[in-house]
């Protein structure tokens, strides 16, 4: 199957300006879970957060290496806190790393995230 | 009908898990803030995910369809007990709830929706496309399927019956599209490559090889 590379859908790699920032290239401590070479998502928010991260990187709002180091830090902390291996939550680490980077670089204020979360939590369930 | 519907793929949702709910809310909050700031759009995220979906999700469903075309015995087992039969092509049925397949044939066209939310056989098809979750598709495909399918580029002849299958948290549906003409010589792997996500939802036909 001639599947397009993710970069073809959202602009060329050149627009991001950084070679090798596709997470498919990530190996080692920060590598996403995979099955048969494909990224594994278990909740619908996970691919959205993943895609959001890629968009921010393309727009130059997120430095991939900074993000990756943050992710590795989150995973390391998470692993020391794990009660059972089955509780391993890669995308939870990803989400925290992204939140930290965006608030740390003042792209987003923590209070904005809190307000938005309150509004979403208050929505009727079948929204 | 229970009221467990919510805007989530149910197949692997951690029911009752406060952690998962809290993460969903935080993730949605982050996306909403970035959209409000004009940093990105929901469509951009959709497009990115769709690209990944082309590689992740529909392939599992396509394997089921290709085997059903190639192996009449498998097709019969699929009709009888799809939830278990899909394991024969390597799909983990533990992640599906109850699966039913609906087979297109001359005179009968099947299409799937979830009129209440966005139930979807996502272990087979990946994440649902944005339009599948739209209020317009969910309501109109039930009331006027022929018109909606035509708008989506699929003209169904008047003499063909259209059956609309409304998914729920208990039952998911997979459409087995008709095998296109001129594919008798293809291997099962080659057949897999022909099967599209939309054909397995029932909103498209499969393009015969060489006509793309």
The answer to whether residue B168 sits within a structural domain is yes
Residue B207 has pLDDT above 50, yes or no: yes
| Final residue of a structural domain among B25, B55, B85 | B55
Does B207 fall in a domain?
Answer: no
- What distance in Å separates the CA atoms of residue B59 and residue B192, rounded to the nearest whole number? 7
pLDDT of residue B32: 95
Nearest CA in chain B to A112: B33
Same domain, B66 and B51: no
Nearest CA in chain A to B34: A108
- Residue B190 touches chain A, beta carbons under 8 Å: no
Q: Does one domain contain both B173 and B109? A: yes
Residue B55 scores a pLDDT above 70: no
Helices vs strands, H then E, count in chain B: 11, 4
Q: Does B124 map to a domain?
A: yes
Asked whether residue B1 carries a pLDDT value surpassing 70, the answer given is no
Residue B80 shares a structural domain with residue B65: yes
Whether B80 and B177 map to the same domain: the answer is: yes
CA distances from B125 to B93, B159, B169, B190, B210 (A): 13, 29, 16, 18, 24
For residue B104, the Cα-to-chain-centroid distance in whole angstroms is 15
The whole-angstrom separation of Cα B160 and Cα B76 is 23
pLDDT > 80? residue B159: yes
B158 domain residue, yes or no? yes
Specify whether B119 is catalytic: yes
CB A52 within 8 A of CB A99: no
Residue B147, in any domain of the structure = yes
B113 is catalytic: no
Write down the pLDDT at residue A24.
44
Same structural domain, B47 and B106: no
Q: Give B169's pLDDT tier (boundaries 50, 70, 90).
A: low
Minimal Cβ distance to A47: which of B14, B39, B52:
B52
- B70 and B48 in a common domain: no
**pLDDT tens track for A83-124:** 877 677 888 999 999 999 999 999 999 999 999 999 988 876
B170, pLDDT greater than 80: no
Range of the domain at B188: 59-201
Residues B66 and B40 in one domain: no
Can you give the pTM of this predicted structure?
Answer: 0.54
Task: Collect all residues with Cβ–Cβ distance below 8 Å to A101 and sequence separation of at least 6.
Answer: A62, A66, A67, A70
B166 phi/psi in degrees, rounded to 5: -95, 110
A36-77 pLDDT, tens digit each: 444 567 788 988 998 899 889 888 899 888 998 898 899 889
Where do the domains of chain A lie? Answer: 42-121
Same domain, B112 and B180: yes
d(CA B97, CA B93): 8
* Highest mean predicted confidence (pLDDT) among B48-57, B95-104, B133-142, B180-189: B180-189
Same domain? For B169 and B187 the reply is yes
Chain B residue with minimum CA distance to A52:
B45
Query: What is the number of domains present in chain B?
Result: 2
pLDDT(B199) > 70:
yes
Give the ipTM of the model, two decimals please: 0.76
Q: Are B111 and B189 in a shared domain?
A: yes
Is B147 found in the same domain as B88? Answer: yes
- Which pLDDT does position A39 carry in this prediction? 58
| Together in a domain, B140 and B104 | yes
Residues from chain B contacting residue A38 (CB–CB below 8 Å): 55-56
How much of chain A, in percent, has pLDDT values that exceed 90? Answer: 28
Task: Select the more confidently predicted residue: A1 or B106.
Answer: B106
């Amino acid at each position: 199957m001639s599947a397009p590379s993710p970069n073809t859908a959202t602009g060329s790699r050149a627009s991001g300006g950084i070679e090798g920032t596709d997470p498919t290239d990530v190996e080692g401590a920060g590598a996403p879970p995979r099955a048969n070479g494909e990224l594994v998502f278990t909740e619908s928010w996970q691919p959205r957060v993943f895609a959001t991260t890629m968009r921010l990187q393309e727009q130059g709002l997120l430095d991939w290496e900074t993000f990756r180091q943050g992710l590795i830090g989150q995973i390391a902390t998470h692993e020391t806190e794990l009660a059972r291996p089955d509780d391993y939550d890669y995308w939870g680490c990803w989400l925290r790393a992204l939140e930290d980077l965006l608030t740390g670089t003042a792209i987003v204020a923590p209070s904005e995230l809190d307000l938005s979360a309150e509004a979403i939590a208050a929505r009727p369930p079948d929204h | 009908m229970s009221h467990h519907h919510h805007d989530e793929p149910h197949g692997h949702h951690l029911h009752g898990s406060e952690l998962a709910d809290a993460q969903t809310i935080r993730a949605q909050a982050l996306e909403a803030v970035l959209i409000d700031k004009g940093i990105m759009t929901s469509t951009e995220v959709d497009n990115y995910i769709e690209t990944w979906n082309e590689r992740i999700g529909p392939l599992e469903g396509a394997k089921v369809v290709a085997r059903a075309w190639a192996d009449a015995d498998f097709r019969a087992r699929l009709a009888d007990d799809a939830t278990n039969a899909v394991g024969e092509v390597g799909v983990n049925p533990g992640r599906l709830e109850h699966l039913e397949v609906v087979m297109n044939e001359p005179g009968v066209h099947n299409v799937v929706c979830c009129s209440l939310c966005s139930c979807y056989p996502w272990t087979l098809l990946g994440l649902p496309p944005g339009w599948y979750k739209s209020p317009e598709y969910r309501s109109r495909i039930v009331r006027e399927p022929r018109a909606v399918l035509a708008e989506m580029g699929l003209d169904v002849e008047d003499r063909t019956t259209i059956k609309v299958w409304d998914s729920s948290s208990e039952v998911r549906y997979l459409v087995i599209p008709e095998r296109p003409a001129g594919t008798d010589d293809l291997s099962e792997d080659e057949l897999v490559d022909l099967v599209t996500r939309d054909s397995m939802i029932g909103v498209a036909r499969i393009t015969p090889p060489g006509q793309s």
